[in-house]
């Protein structure tokens, strides 16, 4: 059997090595980033079943005993059940309203050529630029005036106003790419504007809508600043405020903070798992014709 000439063999080896380095390098980068993202989460997970004194003695140790009763303590004794319910009511309501209003507004801005269309879009878009903190005091005063301070309804309305501009901005871009012919065809089929919105725009735009649902849910579920300013009663607290209660001026109950965080993260994981396929579709929609 004839062997390869020396130069050809060297070239083949170089190509194989280059391929190995490229795929190995890529794999190394993926592993590193996964560790960077997942390790802190895993660490909080381990701390959630360890006591604060165990954590103080050895910060990163694997639990010797799994203190599952901490979750019961947080849920019952520390009133996390109530906080979880408050967060659920406020965030689910806010996300539902934002999604409905945002999708409808985005559809109108993307599809109808009315006077002031671009002005409305610009006003909505420009409100994204400003940090929400600058409206905090004004919001406080408005809610007090309308008896909405320290209420779930008040916080829900604030969350809707905070997330609506970004939602409209994201959806408007996607909806504008839906071909006009689809709407013309539906019009000729006899459907009204509202029916076209429900039967065509919402199903076709579901990847983008799912994206905004996930982003809004994650943002609002973890929202702390507006909640701490606009809620004062203990029973009205949302989960982030409940976790905050474990932080004193001189002592922080690290173990219970970690337990509270694990309780808080479960719905986010569920929502993401449920909508993630649509999220990826939404992110890549239009990338390839």
- Residues at the site binding another protein, with contacts judged by CB under 8 A: 179, 181-182, 184-191, 195, 200, 203-204, 206
Nearest to 110 by CA among 166, 162, 170: 170
Least distance in angstroms from the C-beta of 123 to another protein: 24
Q: How many CB atoms lie within 10 A of CB 243?
A: 23
Least distance in angstroms from the C-beta of 198 to another protein: 12
Nearest to 86 by CA among 253, 259, 246, 267: 267
Least distance in angstroms from the C-beta of 172 to another protein: 20
Q: Which is nearer to another protein, 178 or 215 (CB)?
A: 178
- How many Å apart are CA 51 and CA 65, to the nearest integer? 9
Q: Which is nearer to another protein, 29 or 182 (CB)?
A: 182
Q: How many CB atoms lie within 10 A of CB 271?
A: 19
- How many Å apart are CA 215 and CA 261, to the nearest integer? 19
Q: Which is nearer to another protein, 71 or 191 (CB)?
A: 191
Least distance in angstroms from the C-beta of 284 to another protein: 14
Backbone angles phi, psi at 184, to 5 degrees: -60, -45
Least distance in angstroms from the C-beta of 52 to another protein: 52
Q: Which residue has the tokens 């909505």?
A: 124
Question: Are the CB atoms for 287 and 222 separated by under 8 Å?
Answer: no
Question: Are the CB atoms for 152 and 236 separated by under 8 Å?
Answer: yes
Q: Which is nearer to another protein, 5 or 179 (CB)?
A: 179
Q: Which is nearer to another protein, 176 or 185 (CB)?
A: 185
């Amino acid at each position: 059997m004839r062997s390869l000439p020396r130069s050809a063999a060297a070239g083949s080896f170089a190509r194989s090595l280059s391929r190995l380095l490229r795929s190995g390098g890529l794999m190394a980068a993926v592993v590193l980033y996964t560790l960077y993202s997942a390790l802190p989460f895993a660490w909080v997970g381990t701390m959630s079943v360890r006591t604060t004194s165990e954590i103080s003695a050895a910060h990163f140790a694997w639990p010797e005993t799994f203190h599952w009763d901490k979750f019961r303590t947080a849920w019952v004794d520390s009133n996390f059940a109530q906080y979880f319910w408050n967060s659920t009511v406020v965030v689910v309501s806010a996300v539902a309203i934002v999604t409905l209003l945002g999708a409808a507004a985005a559809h109108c801005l993307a599809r109808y050529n009315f006077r002031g269309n671009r002005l409305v879009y610009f006003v909505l878009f420009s409100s994204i630029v400003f940090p929400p903190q600058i409206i905090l005091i004004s919001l406080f005063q408005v809610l007090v005036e309308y008896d909405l301070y320290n209420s779930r309804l008040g916080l829900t309305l604030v969350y809707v106003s905070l997330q609506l501009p970004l939602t409209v901005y994201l959806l408007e871009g996607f909806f504008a790419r839906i071909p006009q012919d689809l709407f013309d065809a539906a019009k000729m089929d006899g459907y009204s504007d509202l029916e076209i919105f429900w039967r065509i725009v919402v199903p076709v735009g579901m990847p983008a809508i799912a994206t905004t649902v996930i982003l809004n849910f994650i943002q609002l579920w973890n929202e702390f600043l507006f909640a701490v300013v606009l809620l004062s009663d203990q029973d009205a607290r949302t989960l982030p405020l409940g976790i905050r209660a474990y932080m004193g001026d001189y002592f922080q109950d690290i173990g219970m903070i970690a337990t509270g965080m694990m309780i808080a993260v479960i719905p986010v994981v569920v929502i993401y798992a449920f909508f993630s396929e649509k999220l990826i579709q939404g992110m890549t929609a239009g990338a390839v014709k």
